[in-house]
C-alpha cells in the first residue's frame, strides 16, 4: 500500500522533472526511460537503475549465451546477476535479434525469426518507464503507475523488501539455478491464513504440503518482507505483524529478497552492494531438513536418497528417466525390461521417502 503511494508520487515527480528539464541538459543520472527507447541482447541489453545495480532487460539463461529472457535482475557482484523476476518465464527463450521497445501503447517485443513474434505488452497512454534502486520497474502514464511487476504483480519466485505475497498468491520456484522457467515447488499464502509449500501440480491439500507456517485460522492476509529483512505475517487490517518468521536485521545498507529456490527451500537473502557479499539469513524448511522429505524433489516412478546430504533421484526398476539430463524429471517404463526387481533393489526401495 505504501509503495503504491510511493510510486504514484515518483511517477508524478518524474513527469514534473521531465517538464522542468526540457530544453535543459539531461541530469547526470536519471532512471526515466523515454518513449521509443529500445533494448536488444546484442546492442544495449537493458535499462539500468541510477546505481547501475538493478536492470530491466534481456539476460542470458539456461546456461546458454544465445537464449535470452526478459526480466529484472540485480548485478550482485561483478559478472554475476541475480534474477528477481522473469516475464513470460514459460514462453521459451528469445534470441539475439529480439528487440523490446517502449511505446505509448506499452512494451513491444519484436523477434524477426519467428512468425508470431510480435507480442505487444499492451497498456494505454504510456509516457515513460523507470527502474529504481529498489528493483522496482514501473511503466507510467502522465500521472499514474500503469504497471509494476511487484505490487500486485505477476510474481515468479521472489519478493523484495517492502513487498507482499498477498492472499491467494503464490511463488513458483525456478526450474534450476540457471533456468528461470517454472520449476517444481510453490509457496502459497492461503485464504485459510496458512502459508504453505507444496510441489507444483498438486491441490492445496494438507497431505501434499511439505512445510507450513501453521497459522491456519489466525486471520493472516499477507506475507511481507520489510526493509530490515524481516519476514512477517500480517492480517488485512493491522499494521503490526501477527507472526514474525525472522527478526529485523540491525545492519543497514543491505538489500533483501526472499526466494523460493529451485530446490524447494524458501530462503531469505541479504545483498551487501558495497562488499558484494550475498548471505542466506534464514531458510524454510531449515537447511538441515532431509531433502528427500521435500515432496516433489523426485518425479513420478522414482525414489529419493541422500548422497553427501544432497538428494539423488533414481528410477524404480524397469523405468528410465523421462528427460535423461534431468534426474528429477521422473521416470517412464522401459518396455524391453519388465522383470521383477531383484532382492537388492527391493532393499534399496525401503528407504524411499
Ligand X SMILES: *[C@@H]1O[C@H](CO)[C@@H](O)[C@H](O)[C@H]1NC(C)=O
* Positions in the binding site for ligand X (CB under 6 A): 17-18, 21, 26-27, 30, 32, 34, 61-62, 64, 67, 75, 77-80, 93, 175, 179, 181, 184, 200-201, 219, 221, 236, 241-244, 247-248, 275-276, 312-313, 327
Nearer to ligand X, 122 or 142 (CB): 142
Q: In terms of CB distance, is 280 or 346 closer to ligand X? A: 280
Nearer to ligand X, 53 or 122 (CB): 53
- Smallest distance, Å, CB 208 to ligand X? 13
Question: Which position's Cβ is nearest ligand X?
Answer: 62
Strand blocks (E) in 154-264: 158-160, 163-166, 170-176, 179-189, 195-199, 211-212, 222-225, 231-234, 243-244, 254-260
C-alpha cell at 323: 528427460
> What span, in angstroms and rounded, lies between the C-alpha atoms of 262 and 220?
26
Q: From residue 350, how far is each of 80, 343, 345, 347 by CA, in Å?
A: 42, 11, 9, 6
Q: To the nearest whole angstrom, how small is the minimum distance from the Cβ of residue 187 to ligand X? A: 15
Which of 138, 313 has the CB closer to ligand X? 313
Sign of the dihedral through C-alpha 219, 221, 226, 230: positive
Q: What is the DSSP string of 194-219?
A: -EEEEESS--S-GGG-SEE---TTS-
**Nearest distance from residue 147's CB to ligand X, in Å?**
20
**Nearby residues of 189 by Cβ (< 8 Å), 6 or more positions away:** 165, 166, 167, 168, 169, 170, 195, 220, 221, 222, 223
Least gap, CB of 284 to ligand X (angstroms): 16
CB of 190 to ligand X, least distance (A): 10
Which of the 8 DSSP states describes residue 291?
Answer: G
Within 10 Å of residue 274's Cβ, how many Cβ atoms? Answer: 7
Can you list the alpha helix ranges (DSSP code H) found in 225-332? none
Specify the residue, 116 or 325, whose C-beta has the smaller distance to ligand X: 325
As measured in angstroms, the least distance from the Cβ of 350 to ligand X is 19
In angstroms, what is the minimal distance from the CB of 127 to ligand X? 12
Residue 35: CB minimum distance to ligand X, A: 10
Sheet holding 211-212, edge to edge: 170-176, 179-189, 195-199, 211-212
Of the pair 75, 165, the CB lying nearest ligand X is at 75
**Closest to 41 (Cα-Cα) out of 61, 22, 25:** 61
- CA 292-223-168 angle, to 5 degrees, is 80
Minimum CB distance to ligand X smaller for 219 or for 337 = 219
**160 versus 313: smaller Cβ distance to ligand X:** 313
CA dist 277 and 235 (Å) reads 34
Please, what is the minimum distance in Å from the beta carbon of residue 42 to ligand X?
Answer: 17
Amino acid at each position: 500500500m505504501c509503495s503504491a503511494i510511493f510510486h504514484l508520487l515518483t511517477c508524478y515527480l518524474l513527469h514534473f522533472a521531465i517538464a522542468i528539464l526540457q530544453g535543459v541538459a539531461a541530469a547526470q543520472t536519471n532512471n526515466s526511460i523515454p518513449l521509443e527507447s529500445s533494448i536488444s541482447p546484442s546492442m544495449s541489453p537493458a535499462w539500468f537503475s541510477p546505481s547501475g545495480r538493478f536492470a530491466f532487460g534481456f539476460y542470458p539463461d539456461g546456461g546458454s549465451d544465445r537464449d535470452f529472457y526478459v526480466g529484472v535482475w540485480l548485478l550482485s557482484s561483478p559478472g554475476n546477476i541475480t534474477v528477481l523476476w522473469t516475464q513470460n518465464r514459460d514462453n521459451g527463450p528469445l534470441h539475439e535479434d529480439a528487440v523490446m521497445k517502449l511505446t505509448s501503447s506499452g512494451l513491444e517485443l519484436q523477434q524477426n525469426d519467428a512468425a508470431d513474434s510480435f507480442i505487444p505488452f499492451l497498456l494505454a497512454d504510456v509516457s515513460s518507464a523507470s527502474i529504481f534502486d529498489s528493483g522496482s520497474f514501473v511503466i507510467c502514464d502522465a500521472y499514474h503507475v500503469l504497471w509494476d511487476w511487484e505490487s500486485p504483480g505477476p510474481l515468479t519466485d521472489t519478493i523484495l523488501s517492502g513487498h507482499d505475497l498477498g492472499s491467494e498468491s503464490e511463488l513458483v520456484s525456478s526450474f534450476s539455478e540457471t533456468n528461470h522457467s517454472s520449476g517444481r515447488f510453490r509457496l502459497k499464502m492461503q485464504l485459510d491464513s496458512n502459508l504453505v509449500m507444496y510441489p507444483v501440480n498438486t491441490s492445496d491439500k494438507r497431505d501434499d504440503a511439505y512445510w507450513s507456517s501453521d497459522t491456519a485460522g489466525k486471520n493472516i492476509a499477507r506475507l511481507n518482507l520489510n526493509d530490515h529483512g524481516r519476514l512477517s505475517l500480517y492480517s488485512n487490517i493491522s499494521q503490526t505483524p501477527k507472526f514474525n518468521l525472522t527478526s529485523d536485521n540491525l545492519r543497514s545498507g543491505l538489500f533483501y529478497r526472499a526466494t523460493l529456490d529451485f530446490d524447494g527451500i524458501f530462503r531469505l537473502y541479504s545483498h551487501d552492494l558495497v562488499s558484494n557479499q550475498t548471505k542466506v539469513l534464514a531458510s524454510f524448511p531449515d537447511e538441515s531438513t532431509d531433502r528427500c522429505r521435500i515432496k516433489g524433489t523426485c518425479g513420478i516412478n522414482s525414489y529419493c536418497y541422500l548422497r553427501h546430504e544432497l538428494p539423488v533421484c533414481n528410477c524404480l526398476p524397469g523405468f528410465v528417466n523421462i528427460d535423461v539430463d534431468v534426474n528429477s524429471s521422473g521416470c517412464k517404463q522401459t518396455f524391453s525390461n519388465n522383470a521383477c526387481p531383484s532382492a537388492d533393489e527391493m532393499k534399496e526401495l525401503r528407504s524411499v521417502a
